Structure 1
Amino acid sequence: MRQAALLVALVCVVAVPVAGAVGATGGQSAVQQDDLVTNGTEISIHLQPNGDARWNVSARYELDDENDTAAFGRVAERFKAGETDNGFSIGVFRAAAPQVSEQVGREMEIRDDHRTATQIDNANNSTGVLTLQFTWTNFTQVDNETLVVDSFAGSWFGDLRGGQTLTIRPPEGYDTQSVQPAHSTVGGAYQWVGPQAFEDGEPVAEFAVAGSGNSFTFDSVTMVLLGVGGAVVLLGGIVAWTYVRRQPPWSDTGDDELPASGEEAAAGATAGAAGSGTTSGDGGDAAIDPELLSDEERVERLLREHGGRMKQSKIVEETRWSTAKVSQLLSAMDDEGRIEKLRIGRENLISLPGEGVNDE
């Protein structure tokens, strides 16, 4: 744990005395002193794109009764006039700036200091707030579009005690690269609440302009992941489509049959069915569009193209129909006498009437 240098000084505002002469008796004076007890010290640092930082250091006091309110009124007047010297002075920061400047190698200046005092009225009591505001130039390191908070190097700042809060807010339009140590996030700012021990150089933080080359934040990571995911989905769709195109239809209805292959169209065969009274000569139906043939006619044409007989599995392969559809179709054609089925081992041999093995 580091020695609490600056914050020890700020703790001196815990008891703020307000003195005033109220009379004298017997040549002796009496001095009445009112003490206010702080409800906490808040340090807020708003970083600027040019490397400067706007500081707000505030002490809050609970005003429980009229005496507290009157005491705060007197403290507030002296505070705004710069007459108090209880560690809540701009001089504390001006004394620290040269040490920090030497640590980080940048010229620094404390300027534009301003003091305010406000009273916030609540339902049952009131709160008095004393605030010191100033600009600390070159507080952060500016590297192209990146701000690096490195000015807590050394032991000048110290650790947070109970009731003390430190808040660092990046500029608008900046994304967060890293913030250490562990912290809370409040309204886009990073906050530490005492008691909080800091290691040497902490807290440290880095911010980058949104959309810059250094800014690889949650949003950009999400976009990359979405892009990769979309590419994977697209590739999967292409593979699935290719696979489906190479598989036979699974429907058992004639509506699902695929167009005849180029080999079928080029071969040309006779149309018509056995027993239909339609016959053709060699190549007489070569010009018939395969799409105009019935399922039975396509089977008969295939059989003629293969010398009048085929294995059932070969018909499935040539037509690219499902096995179930071909089986049902051939059974119906066998019943009608349009083909003959012969079981040979584990295979069915399909032939046109008069072309079977038993007919030879």
Structure 2
Amino acid sequence: MAIAWPIFLFVVLLSFSRVEATSWIGIASTSYRIELYPNRSALWQITYSVPLLDMEDMALFGEYVKNFTSSKQAFLDSFEQQMAQVVGQAANLTGRKMFATNFEACAMIVSTPTVSRGTITYRFLWNEFLEGSGSILYMGDAFEGGLYLYENESITVIPPSGYRACYVSPQPDALNGAITWHGPKNFPSGEPAIEFLSMETKLYIEFLDQEAMEFEQVTVQGRIEPPLAVPILIIYTKPDGSTFNQTVMASNSGSFTSKVSIDEAGTWYVQATWEGNREYYGSSSQIASFHARPSFNVYALLPFLLPFASIPVALVILYRRRAKRTFPPPPVDDEEKVVALLRSAGGQMLQKDIARKLGFSKSKTTGILNELEAKNVIEKEKKGREYIVKLR
């Protein structure tokens, strides 16, 4: 069963019928204003407006305002009964638990320097008017049977706060934040239809390792939701309180990576921010931190080693003469050590076991494995919170 949407106009005209409206030459108008909310409710406001051309009109409508005010509850009861029927039909059609509350009505004379108008306004809150949740909301399924706007009628939709219209049908007559259609216009079933997309964004960051050694490199990984290929500002705060920034580009999937060389031991703080654009609001991640341990400094031991420099040179010469002349083996780089260890372990090991057996820090191990993976020597497989490293 189609919803009788013009019933709004009928109710307003029924209230206005007690005034001798036919004695006025001015053209009356009706506006429907639908203010939408993120909780899927909608505040409907129906306003009937007629120009008051002379003092007689002003007096006539002024008398009507008095009568309306004294009998407002009767008008509201009738309006509430009609709207309960309309909303109930929409609830049956959509399967949502719709209901109407917060009924209000008023009649007044609005005057400007150029014209005076008599207005009658009804308001009510339509709960569960919108479909969807979270990032996408949809308006239109409640308009079963369509909607007809007569001459001098208009309907204006105010998007929910924090949302923008990404689809509108049919083409509106005005689209400047609010979305407006003017009559006469015949909307097909399910229209006017609008899809709203949330403008909110969220930023997340994490570290490959929560600890690092001084003078090593730390990698910060993050993502922006919804996925946007936009520049992300990474703000680093060093242990001494000074800051510096890096700007990285998020991929089409919303992921991004930032790397920084640690030049100071202590606790570092990192935050990602995005300033936003015309379609999405900016956002900032939570402040994350990691700890950089001081590296071993061999030069600090020199004062303790100098006293031993007085060992007789003769002993050293004697040792060199007796020792068999040999050549040191060629140095083995860190990547070869990792590959050799994997081969001895049957071709695969946990990443943390590699770091432990070779005496590498977590971040150094991660860096070496990333290089080997880039050279297609190994592959890493996520298992729970650990990585299994395999030779290819």
Instruction: Return the TM-score normalized by structure 2.
Output: 0.46
Closer, same or farther: CA 123–84 of 1 in aligned 2, 3 Å: farther
Closer, same or farther: CA 56–215 of 1 in aligned 2, 3 Å: farther
Residue 61 (1) aligns with residue 63 (2): no
How much does 1:46 deviate? 0.5
How much does 1:129 deviate? 1.5
Residue 18 (1) aligns with residue 22 (2): no
Instruction: Return the TM-score normalized by structure 1.
Output: 0.50
SS at match of 1:44: strand
Identify the residue that residue 170 of structure 2 maps to in structure 1: 181
SS at match of 1:139: coil
Give a deviation string over 1:327-349, Cα, whole Å, max 9, x none: xxxxxxxxxxxxxxxxxxxxxxx
How much does 1:194 deviate? 0.3
Identify the residue that residue 146 of structure 1 maps to in structure 2: 136
Amino acid at match of 2:124: F
Closer, same or farther: CA 138–67 of 1 in aligned 2, 3 Å: same
Partners of 1:196 and 1:223 lie apart in 2 by: 44
Partners of 2:62 and 2:169 lie apart in 1 by: 39
How much does 1:171 deviate? 1.6
| Preserved CA contact (<8 Å) 2:134 2:198 | no
Partners of 2:2 and 2:152 lie apart in 1 by: 17
Greater relative contact order (Cα 8 A, min sep 6): structure 1 or 2?
1
Count of aligned residue pairs for this structure pair:
212
SS at match of 2:28: strand
How much does 1:175 deviate? 2.1
Give a deviation string over 1:71-118, Cα, whole Å, max 9, x none: 212222333433676998333322101110011111111111111223
Identify the residue that residue 88 of structure 2 maps to in structure 1: 98
Amino acid at match of 1:170: P
How much does 1:158 deviate? 2.5
Out of 122, 138, 148, the position equivalent to 1:159 is 148
Partners of 1:48 and 1:42 lie apart in 2 by: 20
Aligned positions of 1:21-170 closer than 5 A? 35=23, 39-80=28-69, 81-82=71-72, 89-155=79-145, 158-170=147-159
Give RMSD over aligned pairs: 3.8
Closer, same or farther: CA 186–179 of 1 in aligned 2, 3 Å: closer
Identify the residue that residue 352 of structure 1 maps to in structure 2: none
Amino acid at match of 1:65: D
Partners of 2:165 and 2:99 lie apart in 1 by: 26
The structure whose residues are more often strand, as a share, is 2
Identify the residue that residue 237 of structure 1 maps to in structure 2: none
Partners of 2:80 and 2:42 lie apart in 1 by: 15
Partners of 2:78 and 2:47 lie apart in 1 by: 9
The structure whose residues are more often helix, as a share, is 1
Closer, same or farther: CA 222–184 of 1 in aligned 2, 3 Å: farther
Amino acid at match of 1:185: A
| Preserved CA contact (<8 Å) 2:174 2:181 | no
SS at match of 2:5: helix
SS at match of 2:29: strand
How much does 1:11 deviate? 4.9
Aligned positions of 1:206-355 closer than 5 A? 206-212=195-201
Closer, same or farther: CA 41–33 of 1 in aligned 2, 3 Å: closer
Q: Percent identity?
A: 23
How much does 1:10 deviate? 0.6
Give a deviation string over 1:254-299, Cα, whole Å, max 9, x none: xxxxxxxxxxxxxxxxxxxxxxxxxxxxxxxxxxxxxxxxxxxxxx
| Preserved CA contact (<8 Å) 2:100 2:126 | yes
Closer, same or farther: CA 12–186 of 1 in aligned 2, 3 Å: same
SS at match of 1:5: coil
| Preserved CA contact (<8 Å) 2:76 2:105 | no
SS at match of 1:115: strand
Q: Which moved more, 1:88-97 or 1:33-42?
A: 33-42
How much does 1:134 deviate? 0.9
Rg comparison, structure with higher value:
1
Give a deviation string over 1:156-210, Cα, whole Å, max 9, x none: x631111110111112211222111110335411111001111111011111221
Amino acid at match of 1:45: I
Closer, same or farther: CA 181–222 of 1 in aligned 2, 3 Å: farther
| Preserved CA contact (<8 Å) 2:154 2:181 | yes
Partners of 1:215 and 1:88 lie apart in 2 by: 47
Identify the residue that residue 205 of structure 1 maps to in structure 2: 194
Identify the residue that residue 279 of structure 2 maps to in structure 1: none
Partners of 1:73 and 1:158 lie apart in 2 by: 33
How much does 1:33 deviate? 8.7
SS at match of 1:18: coil
Identify the residue that residue 241 of structure 1 maps to in structure 2: none
SS at match of 1:98: helix
Identify the residue that residue 6 of structure 2 maps to in structure 1: 7
| Unaligned runs of at least 5 residues, structure 1 | 20-31, 229-360
| Preserved CA contact (<8 Å) 1:113 1:135 | yes
